[in-house]
């Protein structure tokens, strides 16, 4: 750990002092304790109890995806500031010797690195779209998937709820506009009821993604105007700026057009998803109920440990 770096303050310091999070010396990169993982596992089970009856196909991808698929997805057009790429050494012995010399001198040693065929997954659903496209047209009832993955976004922060590597659980719906908007409407109700059962303060609001640049501001305004994204907000680090813990997104035909996904009728498929920030929900529970889960309200314990 960096001895001269600013020490964690506030809620983050409490989480580290209590042993729930483990400081690595990098903002937004933390180890998790067994208790922290237990709370996440209990919340994961709660999600399944609410959504498992829908018959989603369960898919689990690793926290990396094809670079070619990543490039085609359009993520770099909208969020270049958040992307994480994977590079590796590709030099000869002389380049290796220079690399070791640079490491020993404490200077940049990455000049000899080249991009690999994988990038870090930015959202759990991104590896799914090319897989669905490869299967051909959807069935009449469309398709529904249950995903979970570690995801990466390059936004180092002292806010413990804004991690660089975090887990995202998602249900992703493919189908006609009517099918996917009904799915999102169902989860808007389910999500609020589910989180209300956990005894945390919450607020549902229209939102937008953090699009990059001047064009991104226009996209963000359009997203809000069309009410394509809602977030369930819970105060964690700040009462004034509560944290998005669940998101409900209607992508229209964006991914269907990008990947050539069609409905059974031959029309471009629409998609929607509900996303659960697993670490964020755990942090919200510790923030509002304390660090001793045995002393959490009985009503909350009965929901998480039925």
Beta pairing partners, 173: 144, 272
Q: Are 150 and 234 in the same domain?
A: yes
Q: Looking at the predicted structure, is the pLDDT value of residue 66 above 90?
A: yes
Burial 50-65 (b: 16+ CB within 10 A, else e): ebeeeebeebebebbb
Q: Are 220 and 146 in the same domain?
A: yes
DSSP state for residue 244 in the 8-state scheme = E
Task: Please give the pLDDT value at position 142.
Answer: 98
Q: Looking at the predicted structure, is the pLDDT value of residue 51 above 70?
A: yes
Residue range 220-248: mean pLDDT, rounded: 93
User: Is residue 1 domain-resident?
Assistant: no
Q: Are 136 and 93 in the same domain?
A: no
The rounded distance, in Å, linking the Cα atoms of 222 and 210 is: 13
Q: Looking at the predicted structure, is the pLDDT value of residue 8 above 80?
A: no
* Joined tokens for residue 17: 């002092």
β-strands 143-152, 203-206 pairing: unpaired
Q: Are 100 and 211 in the same domain?
A: no
Helix ranges (H only) for the chain are 10-17, 34-51, 67-73, 75-78, 93-105, 128-135, 177-196, 213-225, 254-259, 278-289, 298-304
Q: Are 100 and 206 in the same domain?
A: no
The rounded distance, in Å, linking the Cα atoms of 38 and 33 is: 9
Number of structural domains found in the chain:
2
Q: Are 103 and 54 in the same domain?
A: no
Q: Are 197 and 132 in the same domain?
A: yes
Contact 27, 9 (CB under 8 A): no
Residue range 180-203: mean pLDDT, rounded: 98
User: Is residue 23 domain-resident?
Assistant: no
Domain of 297 in residue numbering reads as 34-65+78-84+122-304
* Joined tokens for residue 288: 């509002």
* Joined tokens for residue 13: 């310091």
CA 259 to chain centre: 21
Left if phi > 0, otherwise alpha if psi is -120 to 50, otherwise beta: which for 153?
A: beta
Q: Are 112 and 184 in the same domain?
A: no
* Joined tokens for residue 137: 């047209």
Q: Are 107 and 134 in the same domain?
A: no
Q: Looking at the predicted structure, is the pLDDT value of residue 4 above 70?
A: no
Q: Looking at the predicted structure, is the pLDDT value of residue 212 above 90?
A: no
User: Is residue 192 domain-resident?
Assistant: yes
Half-sphere exposure of 81 (CA within 13 A, CB side): 8
Beta pairing partners, 229: 249
Residue range 283-305: mean pLDDT, rounded: 98
Contact 10, 160 (CB under 8 A): no
For 136-177, the pLDDT digits (tens) are 999 999 999 999 999 999 999 999 999 999 999 999 999 999
Task: Please give the pLDDT value at position 207.
Answer: 87
- Banded model confidence at residue 120, pLDDT cuts 50, 70, 90: very high
Task: Please give the pLDDT value at position 3.
Answer: 55
Q: Looking at the predicted structure, is the pLDDT value of residue 238 above 80?
A: yes
Q: Are 183 and 296 in the same domain?
A: yes
Q: Looking at the predicted structure, is the pLDDT value of residue 198 above 90?
A: yes
Tally helices (H) and strands (E) across the chain.
11, 12
Q: Are 103 and 245 in the same domain?
A: no
Phi/psi at 14 (5° precision): -65, -40
Q: How many CB atoms lie within 10 A of CB 11?
A: 18
The rounded distance, in Å, linking the Cα atoms of 32 and 15 is: 10
Phi/psi at 136 (5° precision): 95, -170
């Amino acid at each position: 750990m960096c001895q001269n770096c600013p020490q964690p303050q506030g809620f983050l310091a409490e989480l580290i002092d209590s042993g729930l999070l483990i400081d690595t010396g990098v903002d937004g990169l933390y180890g998790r304790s067994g208790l922290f993982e237990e709370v996440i596992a209990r919340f994961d089970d709660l999600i399944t109890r609410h959504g498992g009856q829908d018959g989603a196909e369960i898919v689990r991808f690793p926290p990396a995806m094809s670079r070619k698929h990543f490039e085609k997805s359009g993520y770099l057009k909208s969020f270049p500031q958040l992307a994480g790429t994977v590079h590796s050494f590709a030099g000869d012995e002389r380049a290796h010797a220079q690399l070791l010399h640079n490491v020993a001198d404490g200077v940049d040693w990455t000049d000899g690195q080249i991009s690999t065929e994988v990038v870090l997954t930015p959202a759990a659903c991104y590896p799914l779209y090319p897989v669905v496209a490869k299967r051909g047209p959807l069935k009449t009832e469309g398709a529904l998937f249950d995903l979970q993955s570690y995801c990466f976004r390059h936004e180092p922060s002292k806010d413990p709820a804004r991690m660089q590597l975090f887990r995202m659980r998602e249900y992703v719906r493919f189908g006609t506009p009517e099918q996917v908007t009904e799915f999102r409407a169902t989860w808007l109700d389910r999500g609020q009821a589910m989180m209300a059962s956990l005894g945390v303060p919450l607020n549902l609001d229209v939102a937008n993604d953090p699009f990059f640049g001047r064009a991104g501001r226009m996209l963000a305004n359009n997203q809000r105007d069309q009410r394509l994204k809602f977030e369930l907000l819970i105060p964690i680090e700040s009462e004034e700026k509560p944290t998005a813990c669940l998101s409900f997104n209607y992508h229209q035909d964006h991914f269907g057009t990008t990947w050539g996904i069609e409905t059974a009728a031959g029309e471009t498929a629409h998609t929607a998803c509900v996303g659960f920030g697993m670490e964020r929900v755990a942090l919200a529970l510790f923030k509002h109920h304390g660090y001793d889960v045995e002393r959490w309200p009985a009503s909350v314990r009965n929901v998480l440990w039925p």
